[in-house]
Amino acid sequence: MANRRLKNRDINDACQYLGYWGTGNGDMIATREVVRENARVARDLIKSHPLTPELSAKLLAQKIIGSFHFLAALIKWLQNELEGLQKIWVQAYKNAWHVPWSAASSPYTFPTAEGGHGCHLPSGVLTQALLQHVDQCMRHEDVVQKNMLAQLARTLTEWHCNSFTDLIDEIELWGCNVANKDFWSRLAKSLQSQKVSVTWAGKMEQKLALVLVHTKVCWATATRSIQKCKTRIKKIGGSRVDTEPTAWGLDAQVWNLNLLWTAEEAMKKGIPI
């Protein structure tokens, strides 16, 4: 360090620290781009391999999964970013099997039980990384576990839920980008989307009872039937301005008064949380 000057960086310039790429104000876009670039390099590298498809796929998985798995638990990924990364991974698997990119992706995205190759995909790897992170943080009764429980309590308060199990049920009604606020909401969304159940939820709620006061019926549970009804109507093309409410099996007066769409807001104004 003698006769060497430290380089000054702008707060918006990305730099590497402990394996992560980010700016001084916490923007981690550079990290996500590094993961995508590593995947693209591995995809192109495996194109002219002399190995068997099975062996090359295993080698490929080590290269493209490693960089993503290391960063997945602490980096927020938007839905379109995960879909773009999955596209690169599937292209790489097709290179391993020497098939054109225009070929169907189903053989590589379907599990082996459904006739596919069971290749790893970003959504599954993300769920695994989140579960490993929570297992490491909750393993010992120390300050890390205390901070994780405090963060879980804040998450449940923000989502108006009483337990982590209730949070998983509630998060089903929201998109991935909305459920990307913090670690626990991302974990709940990943478990719900991957249809993975956990056995430690009960123990977690016992520990959580020490820092969170439960109510008899949480707000999310009280309004979930309304949310489910709205979500199902929207999925099949319905909207608030629909002129044929009877087609949905609802009374026209109820629909015209917008009770379905404004009931939650009205309850929230009239009932203190």
**pTM check: above 0.95:** no
Residues 6+ apart with CB under 8 A from 2: none
Q: What is the pLDDT of residue 246?
A: 60
Token pair for residue 83?
């879909």
Please give the distance of CA 218 from its chain centroid, rounded to a whole number.
Answer: 23
Domain ranges of the chain: 15-119, 126-208, 223-270
Residue pair 134/204 in contact by the 8 Å Cβ criterion: no
**Inter-axis angle of helices 29-45 and 53-72, nearest 10:** 170
pLDDT tens digit sequence for 147-176: 998 899 899 888 888 888 888 988 888 888
Residue-wise pLDDT for 191-241, tens only, equals 999 988 888 876 776 666 555 555 555 667 767 776 777 777 777 766 655
Question: Residue 96 pairs with which residues in a beta bridge?
Answer: none
The pLDDT tens digits of the residues spanning 39-92 come to 999 999 888 778 888 888 888 888 888 888 888 888 888 899 999 999 999 999
pLDDT of residue 122 exceeding 50, the answer is yes
The winner for highest mean pLDDT among 42-56, 101-115, 184-198, 253-267 is 184-198
